[in-house]
Amino acid sequence: MVLLSVSNLKKHFPVKKGIFSSTTQLVKAVDGVSFQLRQGETLGLVGESGCGKTTVGRAILHLIEPTSGEILFKGENVSRLNTRERRELRSSMQIIFQDPFTSLNPRMTVGNIIAEPLKNQKKLSRSERKDRVASLMQKVGLRPEHLGRYPHEFSGGQRQRIGIARSLALNPLVIVCDEPVSALDVSIQAQVINLLVELQEEMRISFLFIAHDLGVVEHISDRVAVMYLGRIVEMAPYEEIYENPLHPYTRALLSAAPIPDPDLKRERILLPGDVPSPINPPSGCGFRTRCPQVKPECRDLEMQLANVESDHWVACPFC
Amino acid sequence: MQPILEISNLITSFHSSEETVRAVDGLDLCVHRGETLGLVGESGCGKSVTALSVLQLLRCPPAEIQGSIVFNGRNLLELSREAMRKLRGDALSMVFQEPMTSLNPVLTIDDQLTEGIRLHQKVSRSKARKQALEFLDLVRIPDPKSRIREYPHALSGGMRQRVMIAMALSCHPQLLFADEPTTALDVTIQAQILELLGRLKQQLETSIVMITHDLGVIAEMASRVVVMYAGRVVEEAPVRELFKDPRHPYTRGLLGSIPAVGRRKSQKDRKLQEISGIVPDLKDLPPGCRFHPRCSEKMPVCEEKEPPKIKLGPLREVTCWREAEG
């Protein structure tokens, strides 16, 4: 069942200049992104910094207002909801933030941090709330007796567990995980990834898993979408993306990922230069300035995802 | 192989009014001529402090460096500040982690790049500029003539890291410390920088100590690896042997916990191997082996006595009671 359906999502940030703050340019952070998220699945969203993956996650939750596009949650258009309805919707869609050091209020106890969504959304008695917080803490591997402690008393991995407990408080259907493990050391990263996988299996939550680490995304995702310069360039089940990548950017990205095996000798595709600025993206295909297989026609192409095989979508007509 | 750097029993401690913390505690390390040594470990294990101790870039006090650091036959800890300054940036150099913050924002690339060259080589400004341009070209910065006049903010992260590398290599160092040189960069840019470092190493015959937490980068770049945990070396091995036959439980745990690209299909279930618990607080270290509270193979002796260093081969060492028993 499709839970979340995003079509042609755009978010343009104005660049204001001069004394009258007139908008002179637009940063096209997200420029036409479409995908669907099914119940209980994990869709990995990968790409390099500045490609717009975080903006997609936040626009879906309406933490930032999208410029245009349609977001349907269980068939209902999220953009048309009024404030009260949107507030209700938030209980089914939650987020886990990247930085466990800044995403928890340092002046609130862990118990209060986890209880806050419950206070806002559910009419529970004090003792019911306390029980719920204790069971949530247990679920994510924290000791319930620590609920009176403050965030600074916990390590990075534990803080990320607090963030996860908070996002689970309202039994959401969708959780946007925005780089949830990139700030953690590998041994701790493995603990948090295992926790997320376990929780998903138990609670049938759908994850939109935003990350730049290709290994982490492969491990956790059912399907993967690769973003470049505000658009999805390729989207397919994870086996397809990792074993049969079609888009030249996906191929280059995969060949660039360092693999912990000294015997593995790979053909590395080195992309020249840097990602172009989203203020002034190249015409036609956004990747053409770095593409090893660029053709003269790419200048006038529209980057459009096309279905090549069942469930494998690519935004390049030459592959 | 003759070592270019030999560190023995290095203890780097930081003093504060209440307590003393040993960030590096009895480290022995040796770098051979022409090799790339990988120094791995999680945050707080003392790998950066080791590099900073060698280059003496730590403010003393609060820091205190003890032991011996022999570079080219001279103990760096006995050198005067002046002699050390002559060495730093010349024969001994470093690339820092953050290309965004380790360049001076109010000086042009030209100023920053020629400063080191003029300080160490006593050449004219125009000659130094010529050398600087050659190095910018070497690290493949397009259009170096116009780039050299720009300020760091005008360059992208990858470009800034290239400038840092050009700066570190500008006096042909014999030994280069690269402290997480690609951690702040995207994978495609990381690939460019790693390729560049590998090529320059061949060209300039520099020995490199590559500090990183990324075992993928190590597998690609290093010829030999030293694994650190809580201020100490736990395992030392040639790169192939370390990845094929890790002997310390911590190394095994680290290798097992990485979800590497292409690994999922060979795994039976979705569970990644974890190392339970967290890195110990340096102010409150466990007795015996420092890894024992997290170790899945611990024995009673691990909790009481510090593990011995066991030589497994000419270039292999492991500090673990398990190996001592067997």
Cα gap B90→B64, rounded to integer Å = 24
pLDDT tens track for A99-151? 888 899 999 999 999 999 998 877 888 888 999 999 999 989 888 888 899 99
The nearest CA of chain A is from the CA of B215 a distance in Å of 5
Provide mean pLDDT across the span A251-269: 86
Share of chain B above pLDDT 90, in %: 40
A256 inside 8 A of chain B by CB: yes
* Assigned token pair, A235: 């989207």
- Provide the total of helices (H) and of strands (E) in chain A, helices listed first: 9, 12
* Assigned token pair, A169: 């408080």
CB pairs A-B closer than 8 Å: 132
Lowest-confidence segment of A150-159, A171-180, A265-274, B121-130 by average pLDDT: A265-274
Residue of B nearest to A260 (CA): B216
Task: Tell me if A260 and B219 make a contact (CB, 8 A cut-off).
Answer: yes
Cα gap B70→A209, rounded to integer Å = 48
Confidence of residue B201 (pLDDT cuts 50, 70, 90): confident
Quick one: pLDDT at residue B172? 86
In this predicted structure, the answer to whether residue A199 has a pLDDT above a threshold of 70 is: yes
Task: Tell me if A260 and B255 make a contact (CB, 8 A cut-off).
Answer: yes
Cα gap B47→A221, rounded to integer Å = 33
Residue of A nearest to B186 (CA): A48
* Mean confidence (pLDDT) of chain B: 88
Quick one: pLDDT at residue A269? 86
What are the chain B neighbours of A268 within 8 Å (beta carbons)?
191, 195
Q: Which of residues 210-239 of A touch B (CB under 8 A)?
A: 212-216, 218-220, 238-239
pLDDT tens track for B141-173? 888 888 899 899 888 877 888 898 889 888 889
Q: In the β-sheet with B92-95, what is the strand arrangement from edge to edge?
A: B92-95, B175-179, B207-212, B36-40, B224-229, B232-238, B316-319, B309-313
* Assigned token pair, B96: 């820092």
The nearest CA of chain A is from the CA of B257 a distance in Å of 5
- Containing B10, the helix (H) or strand (E) segment is strand B3-15
* Mean confidence (pLDDT) of chain A: 89
Task: Tell me if A185 and B213 make a contact (CB, 8 A cut-off).
Answer: yes
Quick one: pLDDT at residue B326? 58
In this predicted structure, the answer to whether residue B1 has a pLDDT above a threshold of 70 is: no
Closest CA to A204 of A172, A167, A165: A172
C-alpha radius of gyration, chain A, whole number: 21
Q: Give yes or no for a contact between B201 and B228, defined as CB atoms under 8 angstroms apart.
A: no
Provide mean pLDDT across the span B212-240: 92
The nearest CA of chain A is from the CA of B297 a distance in Å of 16
Lowest-confidence segment of A155-159, A310-314, B64-68 by average pLDDT: A155-159
Provide mean pLDDT across the span A55-70: 91
What are the chain A neighbours of B259 within 8 Å (beta carbons)?
190, 193, 213, 215-216, 218-220
Peptide bond into A272 cis (omega under 30): no
Question: How crowded is residue A288: how many other Cβ atoms within 10 Å of its Cβ?
Answer: 21
Confidence of residue B241 (pLDDT cuts 50, 70, 90): very high
The nearest CA of chain A is from the CA of B163 a distance in Å of 15
C-alpha radius of gyration, chain B, whole number: 21
Task: Tell me if B188 and A48 make a contact (CB, 8 A cut-off).
Answer: yes
In this predicted structure, the answer to whether residue B10 has a pLDDT above a threshold of 90 is: yes
Closest CA to A31 of A3, A46, A44, A50: A50
Confidence of residue B249 (pLDDT cuts 50, 70, 90): very high
- Provide the total of helices (H) and of strands (E) in chain B, helices listed first: 12, 12
Q: Which of residues 146-165 of A touch B (CB under 8 A)?
A: 155, 157-158
Tally the residues of chain A.
Answer: 319
Quick one: pLDDT at residue A277? 83
Question: How crowded is residue B16: how many other Cβ atoms within 10 Å of its Cβ?
Answer: 10
Residue of A nearest to B258 (CA): A186
Provide mean pLDDT across the span B116-129: 89
* pTM, rounded to two decimals: 0.86
Instruction: Name residues whose C-beta falls within 8 Å of residue B209's C-beta, 6 or more positions apart in sequence.
Output: B5, B31, B36, B37, B39, B51, B175, B176, B177, B178
Question: How crowded is residue B100: how many other Cβ atoms within 10 Å of its Cβ?
Answer: 13
Quick one: pLDDT at residue B99? 74
In this predicted structure, the answer to whether residue B2 has a pLDDT above a threshold of 80 is: no
In this predicted structure, the answer to whether residue B127 has a pLDDT above a threshold of 70 is: yes
What are the chain B neighbours of A274 within 8 Å (beta carbons)?
156, 158-159, 189
Cα gap A163→A99, rounded to integer Å = 10
**DSSP strand E in B134-223: where?**
175-179, 207-212
Confidence of residue B262 (pLDDT cuts 50, 70, 90): confident
Tally the residues of chain B.
Answer: 326
Lowest-confidence segment of A80-89, B82-91, B264-273 by average pLDDT: B264-273
| CB nearest A218 (choices: B186, B215, B264) | B264
Ramachandran region of residue A200, left (φ > 0), alpha (ψ -120 to 50) or beta?
alpha
- Containing B220, the helix (H) or strand (E) segment is helix B215-221
The set of long-range contacts for B316-319, using a CB threshold of 8 Å and a minimum separation of 24, is B316/B236, B316/B237, B316/B238, B316/B241, B316/B247, B317/B233, B317/B235, B317/B236, B317/B237, B318/B234, B318/B235, B318/B236, B318/B237, B318/B247, B318/B248, B319/B232, B319/B233, B319/B234, B319/B235, B319/B248, B319/B289
CB burial of residue A289 (10 Å; 0-12, 13-18, 19+): middle
